[in-house]
Structure 1
């Protein structure tokens, strides 16, 4: 079986860095990804995709990314099912990132886009009970 997704898009907001009760870093952000076609009126549609990163990768993303930055994300799709307060079953989707590549430079003029993957600890195994939200 294979569950791999690759996205290129812009952050819609600054990443939110949190830590689990066990001290594991977790960051969330949303990517705006344009669809490769237009509608009947010539307008592009955009998907807003939730991304989550863990450990060293989470800390690196929180430190170096901000709203508007262009990134490539490689990871896996995760679908969760939950029940609302009124008893309705809902599903939500997000991408658990294993790699994040910075595709543009920071707006402050820093042109260093090369982050050594070995230095950011992109290991993504975790205990779901550690998620603080």
Structure 2
């Protein structure tokens, strides 16, 4: 089973990339998720996790995915690779299946 649940804040506004076919888009953003402990300086650290969400309504959803917004994400861990100059690199992302807004967006509702 590959399932992950995260709660955190967006580090910047989400970016939408339209697919060439025109009927789907992918929304990319970084989610800052607080760690369960406080460091030696008395500060709470965070992990910065890249998230991708495939949608048919990417532009509309991006109206709500703004910097600092508190959201919950359900998805799966995805390992991808790329080759550059004959060197293969791996990177980990979360492919979101569900996004839940945990606070109101006053700017959009107004």
Whether these two folds match at TM > 0.5 is yes
TM-score, normalized by length of structure 2?
A: 0.86
Cα RMSD after superposing both structures: 1.9
Structure with greater strand percent: 2
**1:66 counterpart = 2:60:** no
Contact 2:26-2:54 within 8 A present in 1 as well: yes
Any stretches of 5+ residues in structure 1 without a counterpart? Answer: 112-133
Any stretches of 5+ residues in structure 2 without a counterpart? Answer: none
Q: Distance in 1 between matches of 2:100 and 2:108?
A: 18
Distance 1:56 1:63, change over 3 A: farther
Q: Deviation digits for residues 9-55 of structure 1, max 9, x if unmatched?
A: 00111111111111111111110111010122322211111111112
TM-score, normalized by length of structure 1?
A: 0.73
Deviation of residue 64 (structure 1)? 1.8
Detail structure 1 runs of 4+ shifted over 4 Å in the superposition: none
Q: Distance in 2 between matches of 1:13 and 1:44?
A: 19
Q: Residue 37 of structure 1 aligns with which residue?
A: 37
